[in-house]
């Protein structure tokens, strides 16, 4: 690649990075504060140390109650540890709900990005089809180039119907 091409390429890469950052910023801007709070809590709770804290907390709770029972005092939570079970069940329900809320938004964003990617890919396919058509026309018009039939180039000049491709993928068995 020539040195004069490098700045143009760098500008394109920088422009793409800016576009992606703008899309991400737009997604963040359109997300409610409650949603972001729930996602931050879910991310905070979804760390490995949470498992360690839960196991240690349950062990301390059980040990404390067993110690109180063996020393003749009334335990806070007698076996089968109703309060411990209730607390852990509530924690599990809250974490599950927070994860589902976060995943729902992430799924919507992934669908939006997939639609954008499909649109860009369709535009790129249309451009490539047009370029191939123009090159074939140029090849036919140039007296220095021997005219020949190129079935592959002819096939690539045809625009692809996304619906037909989708239908074919759905009806044909997938080969592995």
Q: H or E segment at 137?
A: helix 82-141
Kind and range of the H or E run holding 68: helix 48-70
Handedness of CA 119, 120, 124, 130 (dihedral sign): positive
Please report the pLDDT score of residue 45 as a whole number.
93
pLDDT at 176 over 60: no
Q: What is the mean pLDDT of residues 21-26?
A: 85
Question: pLDDT tens-digit profile of 30-87?
Answer: 888 999 999 999 999 999 999 999 999 999 999 999 999 999 999 999 999 999 999 9
pTM equals 0.63
């Amino acid at each position: 690649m020539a040195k004069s091409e490098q700045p143009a390429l760098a500008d394109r890469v920088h422009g793409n990075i800016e576009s992606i950052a703008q899309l991400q910023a737009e997604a963040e801007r359109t997300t409610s504060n409650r949603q972001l709070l729930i996602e931050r809590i879910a991310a905070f709770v979804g760390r490995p140390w949470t498992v360690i804290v839960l196991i240690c907390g349950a062990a301390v709770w059980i040990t404390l109650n067993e110690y109180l029972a063996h020393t003749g005092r009334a335990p806070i939570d007698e076996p089968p540890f109703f309060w411990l079970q209730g607390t852990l069940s509530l924690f599990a329900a809250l974490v599950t709900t927070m994860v589902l809320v976060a995943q729902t938004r992430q799924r919507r964003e992934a669908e939006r990005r997939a639609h954008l990617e499909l649109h860009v890919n369709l535009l790129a396919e249309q451009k490539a089809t047009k370029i191939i058509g123009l090159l074939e026309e140029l090849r036919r018009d140039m007296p220095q180039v021997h005219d020949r039939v190129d079935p592959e180039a002819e096939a690539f000049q045809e625009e692809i119907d996304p619906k037909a491709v989708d239908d074919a993928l759905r009806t044909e068995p997938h080969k592995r």
